[in-house]
Amino acid sequence: MGSPLRVLHVVVNMNRGGAETLIMNLYRNIDRQKVQFDFLTCKEGVFDAEIEKLGGKIHRIPYISEVGHFGYIKELKKFFIENNHYKIVHSHMDKMSGLVLREANLVGIPIRISHSHNTSSEGGIAAKIYKWYAGKWILPNATNLFACSKIAAEWLFKNNTNPIQIIKNGIECEKFSFSQVTREEVRKDLNINNNQLVIGHVGRFNHQKNHAFLINLFEKYHKINPDSVLILIGDGPLRLNIQTQVEELKLENYVKFLGIRNDIHRLLQAFDLFIFPSLHEGLPVSLIEAQAAGLKCLISENISHEVDMGSNLVEFLPINDESIWVQKIKNKRVNRNNSINTIVKNGYEIKDTAVNIEKFYLKISG
């Protein structure tokens, strides 16, 4: 058998974000003798060592914030001229994919995929205007369009008439299946007793995830039930602000910041309730994982309803009214049910996604 088809994935870095988690889940589950993943990144990431162990190459160029627009274009140009042997470039940079795919097109790379993972751009007005400009290059330069949900497709590929493939943010379902034994072990490790109600959240500390709202909610609920704990998993630019907010509300003994973790499937077992008040989302992997773990999820009504797997675990709430959330937390009866079959039936088993994407790569490059 010849050497595998090498697919170039383009991301800012390979940290534990939703898109990056999906890419790694796919990477671990594809047949790497047939398809290998390489990466074009701008910064180091937590998955770098694993990528190299799995046989992937990591290329690095400076990001736009370091070298400016013309410097970034120059770096992209140089990279693609030197690496024009790739048949497939799969870009996960939302609107910034426009610039990536334009340069890939100029050197004749035949398959150029733009993959939407979100429903809004991050940053201030200047950043959004720039990303709008970059996004204008997607449709003229992409040969294939992927999205994690219908609303993510509508956002990135506005006015598009070509077919869009929905790639489901699959997970390794069995890993998340509820286990009482694991629940007790994790609670013991975290110094949480059996009577305490644990509210959990997984997400990067940035504006989109709306942590400040979550802390205010918890403060109000904690007054009603002092035997409650909030666990926050993740890291990001706003983490210090949120830690300050927690200290100001004198909640530091009840809010645990666990940072970036690679054992989320275990930690979810210790939760009683999953809260996710994002301002916008494509289709969050962490919500699929929470449902696989049988957790009740209170989530923002701004999130695509496609995320609800139909196991009666998800409730959509408005983010302009904290009191509704507090009331819902108060009324939630905590019982875990096994919803793995529903997740699989909805097409979110990563092994199936990996087989489909592997077939797609091989067919389109053939």
Task: Say yes or no to pLDDT of 127 above 90.
Answer: no
SS3 279: coil
SS3 365: helix
User: Which residue type is seen at 265?
Assistant: H
* 337 plus 360 within the same structural domain: no
* 206 plus 258 within the same structural domain: yes
Compute the average pLDDT of residues 138-159: 94
Structural domain tally of the chain?
A: 2
User: What pLDDT is attached to residue 161?
Assistant: 85
pLDDT, mean over the chain? 94
Task: Say yes or no to pLDDT of 18 above 90.
Answer: no
Task: Say yes or no to pLDDT of 80 above 80.
Answer: yes
In angstroms, the Cα distances linking 267 to 24, 122, 190, 263, 327 are: 19, 28, 10, 6, 25
For residue 115, the enclosing domain spans 5-170+349-365
User: What pLDDT is attached to residue 42?
Assistant: 95
What's the CA angle centered on 339, arms 334 and 343, to 5 degrees?
135
Compute the average pLDDT of residues 92-111: 97
216-273 residue pLDDT tens:
999 999 999 999 999 999 999 999 999 999 999 999 999 999 999 989 999 999 999 9
Compute the average pLDDT of residues 78-90: 97
User: What pLDDT is attached to residue 335?
Assistant: 78
Comparing C-alpha atoms, which of 221, 89, 84 is closest to residue 144? 89
SS (H, E, C) 272-289: CEEEECCCCCCCCHHHHH
Tell me the CATH number at 300: 3.40.50.2000
User: What pLDDT is attached to residue 264?
Assistant: 95
Q: Which stretch of 47-51, 121-125, 139-143, 282-286 has the lowest confidence by average pLDDT?
A: 121-125
User: Which residue type is seen at 97?
Assistant: S
- Residue 257: count of CB within 10 angstroms of its CB: 16
Q: What is the rounded CA–CA span in Å between residue 87 and residue 185?
A: 47
* 145 plus 58 within the same structural domain: yes
* 333 plus 255 within the same structural domain: yes
* 302 plus 221 within the same structural domain: yes
* 35 plus 107 within the same structural domain: yes
What percent of the chain has a predicted confidence (pLDDT) above 90?
Answer: 85
Q: What is the rounded CA–CA span in Å between residue 273 and residue 284?
A: 16
User: What pLDDT is attached to residue 300?
Assistant: 97
- Residue 199: count of CB within 10 angstroms of its CB: 24
pLDDT band at 1 (very low <50, low <70, confident <90, very high): low
Helix (H) or strand (E) holding 48: helix 48-53
* 188 plus 325 within the same structural domain: yes
Q: Helices 18-29 & 285-292, crossing angle to 10 degrees?
A: 70
Sheet containing strand 197-202, edge to edge, reads 255-259, 228-233, 197-202, 273-276, 296-300, 314-317
User: What pLDDT is attached to residue 116?
Assistant: 95
pLDDT band at 181 (very low <50, low <70, confident <90, very high): very high
* 123 plus 206 within the same structural domain: no
* 218 plus 265 within the same structural domain: yes
